[in-house]
């Protein structure tokens, strides 16, 4: 009989759960074929002042993180990083891009780039704030 328990070896548990879920998903939609994506914006000294972290998987790009240092905002760098990520996604054969952003971040930025809202979660990360989900077909 199976039992429920709290694990202390989080890494091993995560590995087992990821392996099981990956096998389940692959049996229904094919292999994930995940490929990490990391793009950076660097200043004249080579310091990273912005970037995008994501993953190309199945036929989609998931943008996990997008950040531009306050000193660099308003110069089109966010649009540039998103455009480069979208071009790389197209080259990978992706059909679309999806991402999430909080109300304290940039929910007004993505619709300007053609992203459509596809969900939201109230009171995240704290009461009074909202997590927004966006997607864009390529």
Q: What is the mean pLDDT of each run of 10 residues along the chain (138 residues)?
A: 93 92 87 90 97 95 97 96 98 96 94 97 96 98
Distance CA 100, CA 63 (A): 8
The confidence score (pLDDT) of residue 70 equals: 95
The confidence score (pLDDT) of residue 113 equals: 97
Cβ atoms within 10 Å, residue 71? 10
The confidence score (pLDDT) of residue 105 equals: 94
The confidence score (pLDDT) of residue 29 equals: 82
Please give the helix or strand (H or E) that residue 67 lies within, else none: strand 60-68
The confidence score (pLDDT) of residue 32 equals: 77
Do residues 61 and 33 lie in contact, with contact meaning Cβ atoms separated by under 8 Å? Answer: no
Distance CA 138, CA 52 (A): 18
| pTM for this predicted structure | 0.86
The confidence score (pLDDT) of residue 124 equals: 94
The confidence score (pLDDT) of residue 34 equals: 87
**Which tokens go with 12?**
């091993």
- CATH numbers and ranges of domains, the chain: 32-137 (3.40.630.30)
The confidence score (pLDDT) of residue 21 equals: 87
- Residue 136's nearest CA partner among 89, 76, 72 is 89
The confidence score (pLDDT) of residue 71 equals: 95
């Amino acid at each position: 009989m199976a039992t429920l328990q709290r694990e202390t070896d989080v890494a091993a548990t995560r590995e087992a759960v990821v392996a099981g879920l990956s096998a389940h998903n692959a049996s229904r939609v094919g292999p994930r074929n995940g490929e990490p994506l990391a793009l950076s914006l660097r200043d004249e000294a080579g310091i990273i002042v912005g970037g995008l972290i994501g993953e190309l998987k199945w036929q989609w790009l998931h943008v996990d993180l997008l950040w531009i240092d306050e000193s660099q905002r308003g110069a089109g760098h966010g649009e540039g990083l998103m455009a480069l990520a979208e071009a790389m996604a197209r080259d990978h054969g992706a059909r679309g891009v999806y991402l999430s952003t909080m109300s304290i971040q940039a929910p007004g930025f993505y619709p300007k780039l053609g992203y459509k809202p596809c969900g939201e979660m109230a009171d995240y990360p704290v009461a009074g704030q909202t997590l927004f989900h966006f997607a864009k077909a390529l």
